[in-house]
Amino acid sequence: MSDAPRSVPLAGVIGHPIAHSRSPLLHGHWLRKLGIRGHYVPLDVAAADFENVVRMMPRMGFVGANVTIPHKERAFGLADVVSDRASLIGAVNTLTFRDDGRIYADNTDGYGFLANLRQNAPDWRADAGPALVLGAGGASRAVVASLIEAGAPEIVVTNRTRVRAETLREDFGARVRVLDWVQAGRAMADAALVVNTTSLGMVGKPELAVPLDGIGPGTVVTDLVYAPLETRLLRIAADQGASVVDGLGMLLHQAVPGFERWFGMRPEVDEATRAAVLL
């Protein structure tokens, strides 16, 4: 056996820009809380450098990385092994550098989405009724995949660019129905779950244009936007008696599988975790 000291494991988040990322605060909190000797760092990497940087990382002591905008599709291309859920979604947010030199890619957004709902709307059941998903980008694909797997009977998708929603239906099958914004507004009254996966309602972006008056008690409403924490969608939904779940929990939960794989311990998502990233 070698007497060489074991190196301290490193992980990080790769994006461009990256300064706004809350992942270093989150993983730093878990590392401290669990007493793990390790580091998690932000890496600002331009698109042209992404592949070279990722291929160098294992030799520098990295055990894995989160991948964010604009690299989520590119990361898919350079992985040696891709999880089924990442293949279905077509994007990757978590890379693990295996001891055999291979790069394993996963997408944990759908897992984080469901874990957040289950923690904060424990009465919600995927099979309780239709889900209405606003948006048809990468985040929407992760949400739709997770809802199908969880047993949602019908998923209504609406998107500014309708063809993207149609593609989503072709990829995900018959349980997906495509509606325009106005029809979607009407469908809200029947929805058990309403999810905003667009960037609308985020600080600096326009508000959602979809009519919200159909939302009522008995509906769970969640927004992937978490800045602000209480979006207009969530405020109106709460005023109309719906159960609301903010998007910060998804950010926290999606990080759990990567952390566990890299550092060998499963972290908790609790109030202290929320506080750590809201600093």
Q: Where is the binding site for shikimate, in residues? A: 21-23, 68, 93, 109, 226, 254
- Laid out side by side, the sheet with 62-67 consists of 39-44, 10-15, 62-67, 94-97, 103-106, 81-82
255-258: long-range contacts (C-beta < 8 A, 24 or more apart)? 255/23, 255/26, 255/27, 255/66, 255/108, 255/112, 256/108, 256/111, 256/112, 256/115, 257/94, 257/106, 257/108, 257/111, 258/11, 258/64, 258/66, 258/94, 258/96, 258/106, 258/108
The residues in 124-153 that bind ligand ATR, with binding defined as CB under 6 A, are: 135-140
- Output 58 or 137, the one with its CB closest to ligand ATR: 137
Interacting residue with ligand ATR among 197, 222, 254, 273 (CB under 6 A): 197
Minimum gap (Å) between residue 179 Cβ and ligand ATR: 14
Is residue 232 a contact residue for ligand ATR (CB under 6 A)? Answer: no
Give least dist CB 61 to ligand ATR, A: 30
Q: Which amino acid is at 120?
A: N
Question: Residue positions in the annotated binding site for NADP(+)?
Answer: 84, 135-139, 159-164, 224, 247
Q: Does 206 engage in binding with ligand ATR (CB under 6 A)?
A: yes
For 7, the 3-state DSSP assignment is: coil
Q: Which of 29, 72, 141, 253 is catalytic?
A: 72
247 near ligand ATR (CB under 6 A): no
Is there a contact between 16 and 45 (Cβ–Cβ < 8 Å)?
yes
- x/- map, 88-127, ligand ATR, by CB under 6 A: ----------------------------------------
- Binding part of the chain for ligand ATR, among 42-50, 156-164, 240-248, 255-263 by CB under 6 A, reads 156-164
Q: Taking the CB of residue 124, how many other CB atoms lie within 10 A of it?
A: 18
Q: Does residue 205 have an active-site annotation?
A: no
H-helix or E-strand spanning residue 97: strand 94-97
Q: Which of 21, 159, 231, 273 binds ligand ATR (CB under 6 A)?
A: 159
* Selected binder of ligand ATR within 17, 55, 81, 161 (CB under 6 A): 161
Q: What are phi and psi of 81, to 5 degrees?
A: -130, 130
The correct pick among 68, 94, 198, 254 for binding ligand ATR (CB under 6 A) is 198
d(CA 114, CA 200): 21
Rg of the chain over Cα atoms, rounded to whole angstroms, equals 19
Interacting residues toward ligand ATR by CB under 6 A = 135-140, 159-161, 164, 197-200, 206
Residues labelled catalytic: 72
